[in-house]
Amino acid sequence: MSTPAPAPDSHGTPVGRRERLLLAALAAVLALVLLVLRGGLQPAAPLEKLARQSLDLPIALADGKPTLLEFYADWCEACQAMAPAMESIERDHHGELDVVLLNVDNPRWQPEIDRFDVNGIPQLELFDASGDAVGRSLGARSRPELEAITTALIAQTPLPALPGVGSLSSLGANPTNSGAAMAGPRSHG
């Protein structure tokens, strides 16, 4: 029995084992380059990574730790700019603070979007360790601002005086105006 002769190349010479291995290696390298160029090997963006590892909001609000809830969107440049700082906050204060991200473009979160009256992003909702709302932050925040907010939440101290950050309080019945209707935030009466 004889072994078949190697197939000839375009010049009529047989293609040897070495050449086939070289072609296979070249094909593997080209496939890897194509995968990298198409973004297949890039790590998840900070927003996506944080959102995937977030606790469900009801669990976060009930676990005895303060919670920082961010409403965001993938296309939001301010949210993207703030994402590395949020990732650092989550990493540096893991175990002391829950960081929860909800994407406003996901219809699953519409009840929360309505509940917290989200009409701009990024919007942070701030909760104490009992799960009670204690403040809100509107707009992008720098790393030092996020750290100041986080420190106040963990220490259970008043929120820092930053533009766009406010404490929340419950509105009780006004004893001097007990029968009067309350004006809405858009009324000018």
What are the counts of helices (DSSP H) followed by strands (DSSP E) for the chain? 6, 5
Sheet of strand 67-72, all strands in order from the earlier edge strand to the far edge: 98-103, 67-72, 123-127, 133-138, 165-167
Give the residue among 125, 145, 25 at the shortest CA–CA distance from 81. Answer: 145
Look at residue 83 and tell me whether its pLDDT is greater than 50.
yes
Out of 61, 68, 69, 76, the active site residue is 76
* Entry pTM: 0.66
The domains of the chain, with CATH numbers, are 46-167 (3.40.30.10)
Q: Is 63 a catalytic residue?
A: no
Q: Is 79 a catalytic residue?
A: yes
Out of 47, 50, 57, 79, the active site residue is 79
Look at residue 92 and tell me whether its pLDDT is greater than 90.
yes
Asked if residues 61 and 28 have their Cβ atoms less than 8 Å apart, the reply is no
Q: How many CA atoms lie within 13 A of 148 on its CB side?
A: 13
Averaged pLDDT for residues 101-121: 95
Reported as a pLDDT band with limits 50, 70 and 90, residue 164 is confident
Averaged pLDDT for residues 64-70: 97
**Among the ranges 33-37, 79-83, 180-184, which has the highest mean pLDDT value?**
79-83
Asked if residues 121 and 112 have their Cβ atoms less than 8 Å apart, the reply is no
